[in-house]
Amino acid sequence: MADKYGMNILSDQSPYYISYIDENFQRIIDIAASQEDRGWNRVYKFKHEKLPIDLSEQILSLIPCSSKLELNVNRVSLFVSQPGLYYRPHKDGLDRRFGINYPVIIRDNLCITSRYDDSIADNKLIDTMNGTSREVEGIEKDQAIPVMSVSFSPGNPVLFNTDIFHNWDNTQSSNIRVILTLRSINPNITFADAKRILTEK
């Protein structure tokens, strides 16, 4: 694998996210989608499904700068969500700084991801979900004002700042949604670091 990739950015919404072109996109999606026969349409509400290690290794071998980003082979996962769901504001993991998302199935533009500044957590309890997330308790849907919102499209990966509070709202959709998510083992690699690594030529 080449040490440098020099990806082409499609949309730069730093520090929240960037979407970019990956020449291996369809190959990665095909590997992830091979798990569909495990019954995604029977998933109740939401499922975090870790891929088998052989498929994880195949996918990471196709990810640009995987070794520099220190992507975790044991955390190559699918987020499978049924239509009509909402997930509260949170930051991913206890100390993760970035993630990479590949849309496996997005059939409409009705799922909205919103970002919030840290004041959303003022005087609120944070649920650590047994070490897997940092989630703001006691905020009703539409109670807080986001600093930005976006509907992600199929066709391109997204470098995502997981260290900013965000939610997702799929309550208006009637379609299942499946996202391949990748995380680093190194909490010292920030969103800005990951962007630099992916774009250096």
pLDDT digits (tens, 9 = 90+) for 19-35: 999 999 999 999 999 98
CATH of the domain at 133: 2.60.120.620
**Residue 149 resides in a domain:** yes
Model-wide pTM > 0.85: yes
Q: 1 pLDDT band (50/70/90 cuts)? A: very low
CA distance linking residue 18 with residue 93, whole number of Å: 20
Is the CB of residue 70 less than 8 Å from the CB of residue 186?
Answer: yes
How many angstroms from the chain centroid is the CA of residue 82? 16
**Residue 18 resides in a domain:** yes
Q: Which helix (H) or strand (E) holds 200?
A: none
CA distance linking residue 98 with residue 179, whole number of Å: 15
Query: Structural domain tally of the chain?
Result: 1
**Quick count: other Cβ atoms within 10 Å of Cβ 158?**
22
Does residue 98 have a pLDDT over 50?
A: yes
**Residue 5 resides in a domain:** no
Q: Which domain holds residue 169?
A: 11-199
Give the mean pLDDT of 97-108.
95
Higher-pLDDT residue of 39 and 192 is 192
3-state helix vs strand vs coil in the chain, percent to 5:
20, 35, 40
- Average pLDDT score over the chain: 90
What's the pLDDT score for residue 194?
96
Q: What is the pLDDT of residues 8-20, one digit of tens each?
A: 899 999 999 999 9
**Residue 6 resides in a domain:** no
